[in-house]
Chains A and B, each alone.
Chain A
Amino acid sequence: NAGVTQTPKFRVLKTGQSMTLLCAQDMNHEYMYWYRQDPGMGLRLIHYSVGEGTTAKGEVPDGYNVSRLKKQNFLLGLESAAPSQTSVYFCASRDLDGRGYSYEQYFGPGTRLTVT
């Protein structure tokens, strides 16, 4: 099991360029998440998905779009990158909660994005 993988690991963009970050999980998890992590701040949720074909906005969705065409993949797109989007991006997944409790999330290794 590879768990959660992210592509690419590093990327440098110029302001206004676009890119897509790919997240893949092989644990058959229903829920998938995209976070950003900035120094001195907690992880902030960008978008999430509760199943194939579904997406929803998180805490900081502006400037990002997502798609979940296949259960195992969750894509994060930046249509017109801005310096404020310089950050480390993490993808996570978790199992379906069937007991009324919340299962732990499993994280990928992250993508370090710099926008100049």
Chain B
Amino acid sequence: EDQVTQSPEALRLQEGESSSLNCSYTVSGLRGLFWYRQDPGKGPEFLFTLYSAGEEKEKERLKATLTKKESFLHITAPKPEDSATYLCAASGSNYQLIWGAGTKLIIKP
């Protein structure tokens, strides 16, 4: 059964303290691994798509990486405005997205 698991459920960091969020997936025929950001009361906002193991993408303080079993979202020197829930989703051979439950990131000033 296709599955996406995110860890940790919540992560509290001090401003400037770098860390990583994990997304483990079991999806046959992976056609894309997606990262989204969701702010309270809003819809998910697209961040990255990764297609193959070894691929990396960066945007400001965020860098997403992909292996054959998991993806990491690295956050370097985070700021309070990076606080949000980060969602991971994988697209399999039927193109439907399988979503993780998300990691709630809190950055304290």
Please determine whether chains A and B interact with each other in the same assembly: yes
Q: Which residues of A contact B (CB under 8 A)?
A: 4, 40-45, 48, 58, 90, 92, 97, 100-110
Chain B residues, Cβ within 8 Å of A107: 36, 43-45
The answer to whether B46 touches A106, judged by C-beta atoms less than 8 angstroms apart, is yes
Residue numbers in A under 8 Å from B98 (CB-CB): 42
Q: Which of A48, A58, A105 contacts B46 (CB 8 A)?
A: A105
Query: In whole angstroms, what is the CA distance A90 to B38 when docked?
Result: 12
A106 to B47, CA, bound (A): 11
Which residue from B4, B41, B42, B96 sits with its C-beta under 8 Å from A42? Answer: B4
Listed by A's residue number, 9 A-B pairs whose Cβ atoms lie within 8 Å are: A40-B101, A42-B87, A42-B102, A44-B99, A45-B97, A48-B96, A102-B32, A107-B45, A110-B41
**Which one of A41, A43, A48 has the greatest number of beta carbons of chain B within 10 Å?**
A43
B3 to chain A, nearest CB (A): 10
Query: In the complex, what distance in Å separates the CA atom of A100 from the CA atom of B45?
Result: 23
Interface size class of B (residues with CB under 8 A): 20 to 34
Residue of A with least CB distance to B44: A107
Asked whether, in the complex, the Cβ of B96 is within 8 Å of the Cβ of A101, the reply is no
Q: Report which of B31, B36, B43 forms a contact with A101, defined as CB distance below 8 A.
A: B31
Q: From residue A116, how far is it (CB to closest CB) to chain B in Å?
A: 21
Q: Separation in Å of the A33 CB from the closest CB of chain B?
A: 8
Chain A residues with CB under 8 A of B100: 42
**Interface readout for B52-85 with A: 1 if CB under 8 Å, 0 if not?**
0000000000000000000000000000000000
Contacts of A4 in B (CB 8 A): 43
Q: Are A104 and B42 in contact (CB under 8 A)?
A: no
Which residues of chain A are near B34, meaning CB under 8 Å?
A: 104-105
